[in-house]
Structure 1
Amino acid sequence: MSGTVVLTKLLHVRETEKVQAQKAYQQAIDCFENSATQLYQLLKKKEVAEETYEECMQQTTTLEKLREQVDYLEKLNAMIVHLQEEVQRARADMEAKQSDLTEAHVETKKFEKMIAHRKQREMEAQEKLEKSMMDEISMQQFLKYKNR
């Protein structure tokens, strides 16, 4: 029984690690979603800006207005490149956290199975002991009545 107590304590530690891994994974997901949403919004802005630029090219527009539009597009492109890198880092972090969570889950399952196997063996040993005790009692009763 002491073996299962130790394993139960270790299981509790592993479950705590699993909960922490789940929290870290959820935070990584939130960070990734936030970065990806920002990137999506910037890409939409860039698309609108490019459409505006194309419209300006079709119409007669001042050179200053075209320069402003090009500068704005270049600024958006720089921000998009930066955000793409941030999204990639967030994705990599999220995948690492998912791997950690999977590993923690596997470790928890291992301890749960070890505890279940130990308890099964203890039950079997207990049943075997009870059977041998019953056999001994039966034998003693038989010998007691035989001697009468």
Structure 2
Amino acid sequence: MSDTVVLSKLLHIRETEKVQAQKAYQQSMDCFEKSATQLYQLLKKKEVAEEIYEESLQQTTTLDKLKEQFTYLEKLNDMIVELQKDVQRARAEMEAKQSNLTEAHVETKKFEKIIERRKKQKNDANEKMEKAVMDEISMYQFLNYKNR
């Protein structure tokens, strides 16, 4: 039974690692969602700004206003490019954390299976020994009964 105690301690350590991996994955997923939401909001702003710019081109407006709108669109494009990089970094980090979580889950399952097999082997050995003892007792009783 001592071998399963050691394995149980290792399993506990692996479960702790798995919980930590789950927390890290959740944090990275939250970070990714936050970055992706910011990017989405910025893209919506750009779309609205482009519509306003297109409408301004169709109407008579001052050159300064067109310049201002064009500059705003360029700023939005620059911000979008930066946010896209952030989103890609966050996605890569999230995928790495997910991989770590999967690995931790697999390791935990391995130890659970090993412990389960060892306990089953021990139970089988105990049952076999009990059957052998019962057979021996039955044999003695039979021989004692015959000798009477």
Quote the Cα distance in structure 2 between the aligned partners of 1:60 and 1:143.
119
Deviations 1:37-76 (A, max 9, x none): 0000000000011111111111111111111101100100
- Equivalenced residue count is 148
2:34 aligns to what? 34
| 2:57 maps to amino acid | M
> 2:18 corresponds to which letter in structure 1?
K
In 1: Cα distance, 2:142 partner to 2:55 partner: 108
The aligned counterpart of 2:107 is: 107
1:147 Cα deviation after fit: 2.8
* 3-state secondary structure, aligned to 2:60: coil
Q: Pairwise CA RMSD of aligned residues?
A: 0.9
Give the alignment of 1:1-148 within 5 angstroms.
1-148=1-148
Q: What is the CA-CA distance between 1:137 and the residue it aligns to?
A: 1.3
Q: Please, which runs of 5 or more residues in structure 1 have no aligned partner?
A: none
Name the amino acid aligned to 1:63: L
TM-score, length-normalised on structure 2? 0.97
* Residue 140 (structure 1) shift: 2.0
- CA deviation profile, 1:92-125 (whole Å, cap 9, x unmatched): 0111111111111111111111111001100000
Q: In structure 2, what is the Cα distance between the partners aligned to 1:6 and 1:133? A: 30
Q: Quick one: which amino acid aligns to residue 62 of structure 1? A: T
Q: Give percent identity, aligned residues only.
A: 78
Instruction: List alignment gaps of at least 5 residues for structure 2.
Output: none
Output the amino acid matched with 2:63.
Answer: L
Q: 2-side partners of 1:90 and 1:144: how far apart?
A: 80
TM-score, normalised by the number of residues in structure 1: 0.97
